[in-house]
């Protein structure tokens, strides 16, 4: 039985469908919300091989005219140059302002396809079809789109909410364990900042989780719960202006810097966020009175999902520090950092110094 969640924000409302076997119904479901004719499916070389033909057939059966555009897999493709190349292919295919974009893939694809949708003809609709656990519970919700530069992640982007999100839990069975597990970094983050009960349940449930994503019913319930958590936070602060949405950045300030310092190759996004969460906990002990035993519980849960909690000894801590100055969450030279005083709660503070951050990174 699928779930249909209504995602609300100040100016936008869109459905997120969570269930099994939804890929075969993409054409029918999309036509219900976007009765248009032409669309671009933006995917990467890995995902397109697995699901591209299936999505094409489903769209064509619903009388759409899709154009499949593939880009190389990996964070290295999330660039302004790649976005331009996609737009040029869309122009060549005759797509216009009555067309729409489908992002078929993980978080990288969701980010760049959403960015393309935001700028093509000054904005056309976007459909998110995430194919990783991490993208389902996090990046596909909330309307943040963007590309990276040499200096940092998502420094060029736009707010552009999707018109529809389709989460088919069956696709998660294709993920290698490492790719599957990285999604739990964002799930654990949600538990730490907003849902102490889910944190307890994850501790109990981990022993019974399959090595891969086999338990579709349990996964469907977990994804639904996390989509609800994120959407409620986003609804309070759609454009990340008041600080309420900023709590979603718990672990991300240092996590993004670790990703960049590793040239987007050493760690998957969720793995870097896991390390960022550990560092944020160290800062939280000093600046938010997080009890050390709760910090230990968070680290233990990350490790249960085979996520890293320590940096390799030869990984440059100094490179992480150098990368931090380009972080969007540092405004006017001030450090804006998310801390947790206890599991289930988080807040934004300007009371954290670069020295605090440096010490936390040194401890990793």
Contacts of 296 (CB under 8 A, 6+ apart): none
The whole-number pLDDT of residue 209 equals 55
- Cα–Cα distance, 129 to 146 (Å, whole number): 17
- Cα–Cα distance, 339 to 191 (Å, whole number): 14
Mean pLDDT across the chain: 93
Would you list the DSSP string of 167-221? EEGGGGGGS-HHHHHHHHHHHHHHHHHH-HHHHHHHHHHGGGS-SSS--HHHHHH
What would the mean pLDDT of 4-25 be, rounded to a whole number?
90
The whole-number pLDDT of residue 108 equals 97
What would the mean pLDDT of 20-37 be, rounded to a whole number?
94
Contacts of 327 (CB under 8 A, 6+ apart): 152, 253, 256, 257
Q: Which CATH number fits domain 3-174: 3.40.50.1110, 3.40.50.2300, 2.60.40.10, 3.40.50.1970?
A: 3.40.50.1970
CATH H superfamily, domain 179-363? Dehydroquinate synthase-like - alpha domain (1.20.1090.10)
* Helix, coil or strand: residue 111: helix
Using alpha carbons, list the distances in angstroms from residue 227 to 58, 224, 297.
25, 5, 24
User: What are the residue ranges spanned by the domains of the chain?
Assistant: 3-174, 179-363
Least confidently predicted of 78-82, 232-236, 270-274: 232-236
Q: Which residues are catalytic?
A: 122, 144, 186, 230, 241, 245, 249, 252, 256, 269
What would the mean pLDDT of 315-326 be, rounded to a whole number?
89
The pTM of the whole model exceeds 0.85: yes
CB-based contact 309:303 (threshold 8 Å): yes
Each residue's pLDDT tens digit, 234-252: 988 888 777 789 999 999 9
Each residue's pLDDT tens digit, 340-351: 999 999 999 999
- Cα–Cα distance, 158 to 16 (Å, whole number): 20
What are the tokens at 163?
A: 């018109």
- Cα–Cα distance, 213 to 192 (Å, whole number): 23
The whole-number pLDDT of residue 239 equals 80
Confidence category of residue 333, pLDDT binned at 50, 70, 90: low
- Whether 3-174 and 179-363 share one fold: the answer is no
Each residue's pLDDT tens digit, 187-223: 999 999 999 999 999 988 765 554 444 577 889 999 9
Q: Is the pLDDT of residue 273 over 50?
A: yes
- Cα–Cα distance, 148 to 175 (Å, whole number): 25
């Amino acid at each position: 039985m699928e779930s249909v969640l209504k995602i609300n924000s100040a100016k936008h409302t869109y459905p997120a469908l969570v269930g099994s076997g939804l890929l075969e119904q993409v054409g029918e479901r999309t036509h219900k919300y976007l009765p248009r004719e032409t669309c671009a499916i933006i995917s990467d070389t890995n995902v397109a091989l697995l699901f591209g033909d299936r999505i094409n057939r489903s769209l064509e059966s619903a009388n759409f005219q899709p154009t499949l555009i593939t880009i190389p897999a990996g964070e290295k493709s999330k660039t302004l140059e790649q976005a331009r190349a996609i737009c040029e292919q869309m122009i060549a295919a005759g797509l216009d302002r009555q067309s729409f974009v489908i992002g078929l893939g993980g978080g990288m694809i969701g980010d760049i396809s959403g960015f393309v949708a935001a700028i093509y003809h000054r904005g056309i609709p976007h459909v998110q079809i995430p194919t990783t656990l991490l993208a389902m519970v996090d990046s596909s919700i909330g309307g943040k789109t963007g590309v990276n530069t040499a200096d940092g992640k998502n420094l060029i982007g736009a707010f552009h909410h999707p018109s529809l999100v389709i989460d088919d839990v069956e696709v998660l069975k294709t993920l290698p364990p490492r790719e599957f597990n990285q999604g739990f970094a964002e799930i654990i983050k949600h538990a730490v900042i907003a849902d102490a009960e889910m944190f307890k349940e994850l501790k109990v449930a981990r022993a019974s989780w399959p090595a891969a994503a086999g338990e579709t019913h349990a996964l469907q319930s977990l994804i639904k719960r996390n989509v609800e958590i994120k959407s409620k936070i986003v609804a309070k602060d759609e454009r990340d202006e008041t600080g309420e949405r900023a709590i979603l950045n718990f672990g991300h300030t240092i996590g993004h810097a670790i990703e960049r310092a590793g040239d987007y190759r050493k760690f998957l996004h969720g793995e870097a966020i896991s390390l960022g969460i550990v560092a944020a906990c160290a800062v939280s002990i000093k600046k938010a009175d997080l009890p050390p035993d709760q910090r230990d519980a968070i680290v233990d849960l990350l490790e249960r999902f085979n996520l890293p909690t320590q940096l390799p000894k030869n990984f440059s801590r100094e490179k992480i520090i150098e990368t931090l100055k380009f972080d969007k969450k540092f405004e006017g030279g001030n450090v804006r950092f998310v801390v947790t005083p206890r599991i289930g709660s988080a807040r934004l503070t300007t009371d954290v110094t670069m020295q605090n951050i440096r010490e936390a990174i040194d401890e990793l």
